Amino acid sequence: MLLLCNLSVLRSRQVASVRWDTPGRDSSESMPCGGGDIGMNVWVEGGDLLFYISRSGTFDEHNCMLKQGRVRVRLTPNPFLESSDFRQELMLDDGYVEIAAGGTTFRLWADVFHPVAHLELDSRQPVTVDLCYENWRYRDRPIRKGEGWQNSYRWAPPEGMFTSADSITPEGNSVVFYHRNPQQTVFDVAVAQQGLDAVKNQMMNPLANLTFGGKLWGNHLQYTGVADGEYAGTDYRAWQFRSSGPVRKEHIRVALHTEQTPDITLWRRQLEATVARISAEDKKQSRRWWNDFWQRSYIEASGEASEYTRNYTLFRYMLGCNAYGSAPTKFNGGLFTFDPCFVDEKQAFTPDYRKWGGGTMTAQNQRLVYWPMLKSGDFDMMPAQFDFYNRMLRNAELRSECYWGHKGACFTEQIENFGLPDPVEYGFERPEGFDKGVEYNAWLEYQWDTVLEFCQMILETKNYNHADITPYLPLIESCLTFFDEHYRYLASRRGRKELDGNGHLILYPGSACETYKMSNNASSTIAALRVVLETCGRKPGMLRTIPPVPLRTVGGKEMISPAKTWERINNVETPQLYPVYPWRMYGVGKENLDVARNTYLYDPDALRFRSHTGWKQDNIWAACLGLTEEAVRLTRLKMTDGPYRFPAFWGPGFDWAPDHNHGGSGMIGMQEMLLQTDGNKIYLFPAWPVEWDVRFRLHAPGRTVVEAELKNGEVSYRTYSLANKTGSLTPTLSKGEGEEVVVCNGAVQALVKGKKNSLKPYKPL
C-alpha cells in the first residue's frame, strides 16, 4: 500500500562522485570531463596524464567532426609510477576531474561560459613538467577504406580524398593550432549533385572557411622541439614543452575558437580576445553552474536501482558538457569518442573517427538525446538542437520550391548541417527521371516526418517553461505546410482530387520510420501531424484534413497498425507505438489504453523487434503504458553499466560508443516510470516498482516542479511552481472516491496509487 504524507523539508543532497583507484590501460578507460561546449576524455596511462579535447561544431571540409588534439603530461619525479595511493575522481557536483598520487594533484575543468579548458597542478614536492601537444593531422591524411563513415561520404568517398593538415605553430610558452576549411567543401558537392546550383547563393553554408582550433600555454613552460610517435595505431607529431625548472604549481590553459572568417587574421584576433577574457572568477562561476544544474533535477535510488539512477546521472552530466554548443550533442558519441580501435578493431582509424558521421544528423537518433531534457528541466540546453534546424530552414524550403514548386520545408531523416541529404544517401547513381527531391535509398525514401518531433519539443518548452518560441514559429509552420502542400500535390498528379472521400490527406507514398516502406497513412506520421497541429493551434483547417490513426485486428485483438497499407519491411523499428511515445495519444489515464497495450504485447512485429539496445525505446513504451514489470525488465538491461570503464559509456549498439541515444532513451524510460502528465494531472510512480526506494525532482508542464520520495512503500511528495517559488510548498490533502487526490496551489493534481484503486491503467497485467 502506498501512503501519502507531507514532505515539508527535503534532505540536503551532494552529488556523488566516480572514483578509480588505479590508472587506465588506454583511452577506452577514460573519464569524461567538460562544460559549456567542451568535452575531454581523461586518463592516466604508463605514468602519463592524457586527455583528448573536443568541441561542439568543429566540422571539417568533408563534415567529419575533428578533435582539437591530445595533451600528454609527465612529471619528474613521477607520482603515478612511484606512489601507491593513486586516485582519479569525477567530482560531479562541481564538474571537474581530480587526479592525485604521492602528494601531487591535477584538477581538470572546462569553463562553462568561455571556451577554455584548464589543467591545474598542485604538488607537495617540486616536479619538472613535460607537456606535449599531440596532433595526428600534422600532415594531409588520406581517407582509407572504411574511414569515410566518419564524414558525409560514408561508404563511397571519392578516390584520393584526404583530410587536410592542421596548422600548428609554437610561440614562446604556447602552441597555436587550427584546422581551416577551404572555400569548396562537401556542401558544394551536395548542392551540385542535388540540382540546386541555381539557388546556391541563397543557401546557408556552414562549412566554407570554417576555422577551429586554439592556443595552449602554461605559466612556466618553454618550447623544446618536436617528436614523432604512435598511439593506438595512429602516428602523430608532438610539440614538446618543459617547465623552466621544478615547480610546485602550474596552470595550463587551452583557449579555443571556432568561426567562419575570410582570412586567418580575424580568427587569430578573436582567439586572443578569448584569451584576454580569462578571469579568476571563471572557476567560481562554472562550479556554481554545475551546482545549480544538479539542484534543478535528479533521480536517486538505493538498492538495486542505485546503479540505474547513478548511470542516469552520469549520462546527464555528459549532456551538460555541451549545454551551450553551436551544434547539438551528437547521438554517436557526443564529445567523448575515443580511439576507434577500442570500439571495433576492424575500424582502427584516427581518434577523429566515429561511425555515422560528424556534421550529419540522424533525426530518429538525435531526438532521444533531447527529449529527456524537458523533465530534467534542462531547457537552456535545448536551443542547440532547435537552432540546428532553424538555421537550415531556408535551405529545406528551397528543396520544395525547386523540386516540386510548392511551399514548405522538406527535411530528410539523414540530414547534413546545411539542410540537404548527405550525398551518398541521396545517391550518386540515380535512375534518369527519378524524383530529385527523394533520396534514392531503400531505408530513407519518403521519410520526412522526423522533424516534427523537434517541432513538438519546441512547443513543449513553452508548455513546460513558458519559453519564448517566437523565433521558431516559422520553422514549425513551414514543416506543417510541407505536408499539406506536398501530399495535395502528389494526389493531384495521380488523379482529380487532392483529398480522399472523407476530406483527409492521402499520405502516400510515405514511410513509417525506416521500417514500413511505401506506406499509405503511416500511424507515426498521422500522430505527429495531429499532435503538432493541436499543440500549436495555428492551422485548424489543416488539422481537419489529418486522417485517424489506423487500427487493425490481430488474433482477435484490436491494435494500432503501422499504416493503412505498406509494401515492405526494411528495418526493425516499431512506429505503431509512436502514438504512445513520443506523441502521447495513448497512455496511463487516457482512453483506449487497451488498444495500445495490445499493440505492445501482441503485435507480431513489435514482439520480433523488441530490444533494449541503442535507440530502441521499448522501455519507454512499457513505462508509458503502465507495464511495470516490462519497464523494470528493460531498465535493468538498458541502464546497467556499459562495457567500458566509465559506466555510462554504452555502445556501440547500432551506432557508436559512447552510445548517446542509448543513454537518452534510458533516461526517458526512467522519467516515465516515475512521472507522467495528462493535462493538469500528474501521475506519480505509474510504472515504478514499489520495492525500489527512490526520490526525485522532475519537471512538469506549467513551470511545475515535482519532488517525491518512495521509501518502504510510503510516498512523500510536494509540487511547486517555478513561477512562484515563494508560495506554499505544503500540499493540501483531500480524498477522492477510491483514489488519493492532492491539490497543490489550487491547480496541479497529483494522483497516486492507493489501497483502493479506481484507475484501471495502474492494474498490472
User: Tell me: the pLDDT tens digits for 576-590?
Assistant: 999 999 999 999 989
pLDDT digit string, tens, across residues 565-579: 999 999 999 999 999
Mean pLDDT (whole number) for 14-36: 94
pLDDT band at 719 (very low <50, low <70, confident <90, very high): confident
- pLDDT score at 720: 79
Where are any strands of DSSP class E within 513-647?
Answer: 516-522, 551-554, 557-560, 563-565, 568-569
Give pTM, 2 decimals: 0.94
Between 427 and 720, the higher pLDDT residue: 427
Q: Considering just the CA atoms, what is the radius of gyration of the chain in Å?
A: 27
Percent of the chain with pLDDT over 70: 93
- pLDDT score at 13: 63
**Per-residue DSSP letter, 762:** G
* Amino acid letter for position 553: T
Residue 1 pLDDT > 70: no
- pLDDT score at 10: 39
Pairwise CA distance, residues 476 & 219, whole Å: 50
DSSP code string of 253-313:
EEEEEEEE-SSHHHHHHHHHHHHHT--TTHHHHHHHHHHHHHHH-EEEE-TTHHHHHHHHH
Pairwise CA distance, residues 18 & 314, whole Å: 9
In 3D space, the residue among 410, 547, 417 whose CA is nearest the CA of residue 475 turns out to be 410
Residue 542 pLDDT > 90: yes
- pLDDT score at 481: 98
- pLDDT score at 758: 27
Mean pLDDT (whole number) for 278-307: 97
Mean pLDDT (whole number) for 220-245: 98
Mean pLDDT (whole number) for 172-198: 97
Strand 221-231 versus strand 234-243 pairing type: antiparallel
**Per-residue DSSP letter, 161:** -
Domains, in order of start, for the chain: 18-295 (2.70.98.50), 360-426+439-571 (1.50.10.10)
Mean pLDDT (whole number) for 337-343: 98
Ranges 3-7, 367-371, 557-561, 742-746: which has the least confidence:
742-746
Burial class (CB in 10 A: 0-12, 13-18, 19+), 663: buried
Mean pLDDT (whole number) for 183-194: 98
pLDDT digit string, tens, across residues 67-123: 999 999 999 999 999 999 999 999 999 999 999 999 999 999 999 999 999 999 999
- pLDDT score at 714: 84
Pairwise CA distance, residues 203 & 615, whole Å: 32
Residue 12 pLDDT > 80: no
- pLDDT score at 742: 34
Query: What sign does the CA torsion over 334, 338, 339, 345 have?
Result: negative
Mean pLDDT (whole number) for 515-529: 98
Tell me the average pLDDT of the chain.
92
Where are any strands of DSSP class E within 366-478?
Answer: 414-415
Report the Cα–Cα distance between both ends of the chain, in Å, rounded: 18
pLDDT band at 649 (very low <50, low <70, confident <90, very high): very high
- pLDDT score at 170: 97
pLDDT digit string, tens, across residues 341-394: 999 999 999 999 999 999 999 999 999 999 999 999 999 999 999 999 999 999
Residue 747 pLDDT > 50: no
